[in-house]
Structure 1
């Protein structure tokens, strides 16, 4: 379906994570190991927060495959960010167009997704009608992922992200099952307000797509000094990824099924995720 990564820490060149690791996100665009598809060539995108700035994040999206985009390579070698999202897309049926590439943005918030709402074409009308009328004009594309984002915003993402996403998923499941869809949703999601990153792993059938978070950098330097002695990662750097970027024992921790993780200032917290339909 898709592959993605979210980084939080001291400012780092995008190239350090997008291109340099042996199983980087760019390599995954050609040869994913754990995804539903091996190739993720239906576009890509970046969402970058500036250090110490309250302005909305910069979003750059393209319909070209990440492996062949020379502009992406140029940008990655010159731009730094303290918190950024990167996403490579494999469409589940919606058009290959720029507005359908992730991440999606609303104000300070970024959102990206791997997975699908099953039978979205049949459920779309009921789902979109639940979006707050004040938010609806900001929907630009035609994906289930963007509708999920605006439903989460409608249900309170800016005030309480975990509760809002639980209500969004509960609403999608209730709508799907009313329309005969047994397992309506499959998702790994990342969202951020520029300070914290929340990531969710859940599916209605309890067989969710892969998701991992990185071990603390201090521990990685002890485990793998041959690699991390030359790495430019700060002690507070943390990653959440669809697939590990390197094959290193102890470097990656699988996000458990039906949970969400919060990362802030290098610390992480894992909590259960329990969908609840909104009242």
Structure 2
């Protein structure tokens, strides 16, 4: 099912957000607290982060569980960033895509993650896949529902849609094709975070000049706020806006 987190604020070590907290992504890989489907997220993990002066993020992704990668523990201790997206993966179906299936997916300045599942995959989304140019389908990083969702979102971003519009339209289309889909989507360009809460948990935490949007709280700070289901979240370092999302028309 997966768990993910995006952060904007003053530069911090990656591990301060992903590894060190009592209930951070490290622990969410084997003991998530609010996950509604599945109990282990050990089918891969990844983090993307932005360096000052470079709009294109770096990524580190691996196939196995995050707790087994000592190299990432070292990176998390010393690499600092003011904008990042991290994720741990629980595969919905068996596959051989390896780290290519681990979020975050990326293109240009964008990082993307999907927390959820699409029942009836791949058949349920055949019609939507057919709306993409052949070149974009051939460029999919993995043969997973998340990779196709990213292709659908990225197609809209490249066409000039704002991130919120791209996510909202994609969620409505996919939910129409697969009514039981869980579609918590998360995208950032390093300056803003946009996300959807759609049949899975989503929370946000704000502080002076910083914001975190995550599948679940990584600690017991009382300032965490749960996002209502069927909601679009648009967040910057100084502001969070929640917008209701409607179910697709029958």
TM-score by structure 1 length? 0.82
1:34 Cα shift? 1.3
Give the conservation status (yes or no) of the 8 Å contact 1:42–1:91.
Answer: yes
Give the conservation status (yes or no) of the 8 Å contact 2:125–2:174.
Answer: no
1:94 Cα shift? 4.4
Unaligned runs of 5+ in 2: none
1:170 Cα shift? 2.5
Q: For 1:264, which of 212, 236, 245 is the aligned residue? A: 236
Q: For 2:20 and 2:176, locate their aligned partners in 1 and report how far apart those are by CA, in whole Å.
A: 43
Q: For 2:19 and 2:166, locate their aligned partners in 1 and report how far apart those are by CA, in whole Å.
A: 34
> Which residue is equivalent to 1:42?
43
Unaligned runs of 5+ in 1: 177-182, 203-207, 218-234
Q: For 1:107-166, what per-residue CA distance to the aligned partner results, in whole angstroms no more than 9, with x for missing partners? A: 111110110111112224323211234433321201101111111222346531222222
Give the conservation status (yes or no) of the 8 Å contact 2:176–2:248.
Answer: no
1:276 Cα shift? 5.8
Shift of the 244–173 alpha-carbon distance from structure 1 to 2, 3 Å rule, reads closer
Q: For 1:226-271, what per-residue CA distance to the aligned partner results, in whole angstroms no more than 9, with x for missing partners? A: xxxxxxxxx21211111111123x2210011111111113321111
> Which residue is equivalent to 1:65?
65
Give the aligned CA root-mean-square deviation in angstroms: 1.8
> Which residue is equivalent to 1:224?
none
> Which residue is equivalent to 1:199?
195
> Which residue is equivalent to 1:187?
183
Shift of the 174–188 alpha-carbon distance from structure 1 to 2, 3 Å rule, reads closer
Q: Does 1:172 align with 2:171?
A: no
Secondary structure of 2:59's aligned partner: strand
Count of residue pairs the alignment pairs up:
246
Q: For 1:33 and 1:198, locate their aligned partners in 2 and report how far apart those are by CA, in whole Å.
A: 23
1:28 Cα shift? 1.1
Question: Which structure would you say has the larger Rg?
Answer: 1
Alignment of 1:183-262 (within 5 A): 183-202=179-198, 208-214=199-205, 216-217=206-207, 235-248=208-221, 250-262=222-234
1:40 Cα shift? 0.9
